């Protein structure tokens, strides 16, 4: 499974340590909230709203340098829009990996 990294954040921040810290803090703060919102919508069968949250989470996936996971999330988002939960388990594994990584930031 693809692992998150700070490559993109490091590239954006360059030598600006304060900016890097702000980006990491934003990810650390927003990620669990977005995951919780996604899980709530899935539990309630609101696939369209869940798809909107997957779309938001794709940005975090991208920021964490997970290119293959981004494409899986994109496919899962489309599945949800078509009222299918196919790839849900794979996507949720990605979220778990991302959350564990963010917890260590």
**pLDDT per residue as tens digits for the range 49-84:** 999 999 999 999 999 999 999 999 999 999 999 999
Quick check: 74 and 59 in contact, CB under 8 A? no
Domain boundaries, given as residue ranges, for the chain: 7-103
Q: In this predicted structure, what is the pLDDT of residue 30?
A: 96
CB 84 within 8 A of CB 20: no
Using a cut of 0.85, tell me whether the model's pTM lies above it. Answer: yes
Taking only the tens place, the pLDDT of each residue in 26-49 is 999 999 999 999 999 999 999 999
């Amino acid at each position: 499974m693809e692992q998150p990294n700070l490559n993109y954040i490091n590239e954006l921040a360059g030598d600006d340590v304060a900016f890097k810290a702000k980006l990491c803090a934003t990810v650390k703060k927003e990620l669990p909230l977005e995951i919780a919102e996604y899980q709530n919508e899935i539990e309630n069968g609101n696939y369209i709203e869940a798809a909107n949250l997957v779309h938001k989470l794709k940005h975090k996936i991208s920021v964490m340098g997970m290119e293959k996971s981004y494409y899986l999330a994109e496919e899962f988002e489309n599945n949800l829009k078509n009222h299918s939960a196919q790839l849900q388990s794979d996507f949720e594994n990605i979220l778990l990996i991302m959350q564990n990584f963010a917890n260590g930031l």
